[in-house]
Structure 1
């Protein structure tokens, strides 16, 4: 009864607002672009899990089977897939979003994609070495996703506006469309490229920066003042999840600033543990990675528990295995959660809630603080990581409690959305 009342309240209050936003061409273009990016995140996640398997014995076994002296030899090979997918995420997203938005504004799709890619690369600084001039792959990866989305939308908008003015090179009617089309796109594409060229010059000469540094720096500066307090961490989690929700790579933007801070706190705990003293910092890299980040897994478990629709059952199967190793992209893009306003509340706030619960458990002495001795990779499964980073079974039990809480938060929202999809499937 209470669950039904909660769903009715959410549907009455959030339903009309969510429907309006979900029909917005800008929102749907970004969402569709990110969905197109999703298969590559899943492909890369499979290779990443194998490359950085959290059990050393498995890594050693693979090394012995391959007959090599060092695991790095074969791990580097598996990273080839990551370098061709997630590492160039910004480039993939700029193409996908440009295509989706061009379709919605009914303009030349192929030319808008190419023009968006050129504009994106135009804003990307080059690295000059003795061997030539190169593009730093980190500048076209996930960290540049914010820039990619902005460029995709605005380059297509400018292209469409110029096209509407009928400013183009007109070819005779006898010229085939396949030949006339590229000529007609010259002026719109020229205007777009010129606009982004001017932006590049203004940023480079006027502000001595570049687009990615400016945008990510502007978003990141406030995070420097948050440090290691629970209040700061809650704000960070909400901010990170908000970026993710709107199609931006929240982890890359936030962690680029917060990793040094949390790593320092982690090292302080490690030094204290090595000296035989008790660690003092509750907030650390281990806390953030293995306790504060438990949230979206609740959506996957909720789907596995209560889903009736075929769509959600299949997504649950696909997303559950990667999530055993904390690889959440298949769930993010497969459900989808990003830009799905039916899930905005649990998506943004569940991590913050689990962070507070974990902090209280450590502050009250119910669970030993992370020692800093076991700085496990982020792919380490929950329960296992909780045990090793705290050196106590109570760390694993705390993670179990956080997973249960996260699942309970997600269940009413999943149930409401699954019901809609199930009814649609039956029709």
Structure 2
């Protein structure tokens, strides 16, 4: 074990440390974190609607919350909350990505956010045109359609659509993530490089700082945005059948990649890596946040939107399941919150299980003292006191259960989810919500979810227990 630790410290930890400190990845991680005010606010609205609109019909036949006074108003207000948050979370992420990327280069952060936001809007397309469809309409109906000035017209027995000033909502939600990560990086990095090269408008020192900063950003921002505009234009010429870049990226890159990462192998791999990073003192979920949030986080946002908006006439969890089975990339079985629901209870590694078993079985006063101090925070998924106080970091006795227990838990949660024993996670819940309650709320109030969590919990107990007992004999060696 000492030889393995020495090898890992010499070769693995330095590389992992560099990855964790790489400024572009740090900016991406912080960009996801920056969207939390909007995503959490929208998620709370969707969760409330799940409780008062989608859950009661499972127990009360004929229940319709949209017809009940007060309840229907709350549902409507939550709909507006969703409109301004999760429905346009791509816009929120675009600004956050540009802001944090500019911050990494130590240039005007506000301008960086604006450049990234403008980059996204440039490429979403403002028109909706369809091939004329033959249909028979009465003269009165045809006249009403043509007078509506909606962009829909009827002539010569054919109905056609040619709407300008229309932005498809699907371009502004989580579908925008992959596109803006690529295009936003191009424009904001170019903006930052030009700014650092002093290719700017210089004003006298007497000009107020706010005015000076705005003028300084004009030339770099204009060049950067022209660059993205040219890219979009060239792409539209090369791909006339799919002229909108965001659609092409989503269908040819994002959806296949998202589908691939739904495999149990990817889920186990990311779980292993989080634990390994933590073992060497690196915050595993933070280091891997670009992957966790960029892949499974995007899937979770899609699930939330389907839960709220419905799918093919179905609503709530039924809509999410239907969207997954349709296979069009509108929803996913395993998402970011699935890890927290079924494996990372008490924090990464399921360390609350360790604390419980120490309090029950350990004879070591030092471990019991740390466990008593750490059990409170661990209930709210804060496990730093355990990681560095026990410690688990670089502790050869606990490395095996710390890595294996969460893997066993995700396998249990994964099998239960994909087999339909529990609803997929469809809500974004604050990470400090205690275990069991977390999985219940995250799955849209599915009563079976805490049972699955309990099974994972029991499996972790089986794995942790022999190592806690073995640790009783290691005090002298320590």
Q: TM-score, normalised by structure 1?
A: 0.60
Computing the radius of gyration over CA atoms, which structure comes out larger, 1 or 2? 2
Matched, 1:26 2:56: no
Task: Provide the C-alpha distance between the structure 1 equivalents of 2:453 and 2:173, rounded to a whole number of angstroms.
Answer: 31
Which of 6, 10, 15 is the equivalent residue of 2:13?
Answer: 15
**Equivalent position SS for 2:412:** helix
Q: Corresponding residue for 1:296?
A: 340
CA distance change for structure 1 residues 402 and 154 in 2, over 3 Å: closer, same or farther? Answer: same
Q: Structure 1: which 5+ residue stretches go unaligned?
A: 265-269, 271-280, 321-330, 332-341, 363-368, 412-427
Deviations along 1:51-104, one digit per CA (max 9) or x if unpaired, are: 01264169979x899972797664343122222222222211222222222122
Q: Corresponding residue for 1:401?
A: 455
The 8 Å contact of residues 292 and 351 in structure 1, kept in 2 or not, is answered as no
Task: Provide the C-alpha distance between the structure 2 equivalents of 1:309 and 1:156, rounded to a whole number of angstroms.
Answer: 48
The 8 Å contact of residues 303 and 312 in structure 1, kept in 2 or not, is answered as no
Q: Corresponding residue for 1:144?
A: 176
**Equivalent position SS for 1:52:** helix
After superposing the two structures, state which structure 1 stretch, 105-114 or 296-305, moved more: 296-305
Q: 1:233-244 to 2 correspondence within 5 Å?
A: 233-235=263-265, 237=267
The 8 Å contact of residues 168 and 188 in structure 1, kept in 2 or not, is answered as yes
Matched, 1:171 2:203: yes
CA-CA distance at 1:154 after TM superposition:
2.4
Task: Provide the C-alpha distance between the structure 1 equivalents of 2:440 and 2:209, rounded to a whole number of angstroms.
Answer: 61
Task: Provide the C-alpha distance between the structure 2 equivalents of 1:347 and 1:167, rounded to a whole number of angstroms.
Answer: 54
Task: Provide the C-alpha distance between the structure 1 equivalents of 2:181 and 2:420, rounded to a whole number of angstroms.
Answer: 38
Larger helix proportion of the pair: 1
Q: Corresponding residue for 2:103?
A: 103
The 8 Å contact of residues 95 and 152 in structure 1, kept in 2 or not, is answered as no
User: Alignment length, in residue pairs?
Assistant: 345
Deviations along 1:110-136, one digit per CA (max 9) or x if unpaired, are: 222211211121122224453861322
CA distance change for structure 1 residues 144 and 7 in 2, over 3 Å: closer, same or farther? Answer: farther
Q: Corresponding residue for 1:135?
A: 167
After superposing the two structures, state which structure 1 stretch, 99-108 or 40-49, moved more: 40-49
The 8 Å contact of residues 59 and 71 in structure 1, kept in 2 or not, is answered as no
Q: Structure 2: which 5+ residue stretches go unaligned?
A: 129-149, 152-162, 272-287, 313-317, 319-324, 356-369, 384-393, 395-401, 428-436, 466-478
CA distance change for structure 1 residues 138 and 206 in 2, over 3 Å: closer, same or farther? Answer: same
Q: TM-score, normalised by structure 2?
A: 0.55
Q: 1:297-376 to 2 correspondence within 5 Å?
A: 297=341, 298-301=343-346, 302=350, 304-305=352-353, 306=355, 317=380, 353-354=411-412, 370=420
Q: Corresponding residue for 1:211?
A: 245
Matched, 1:92 2:136: no
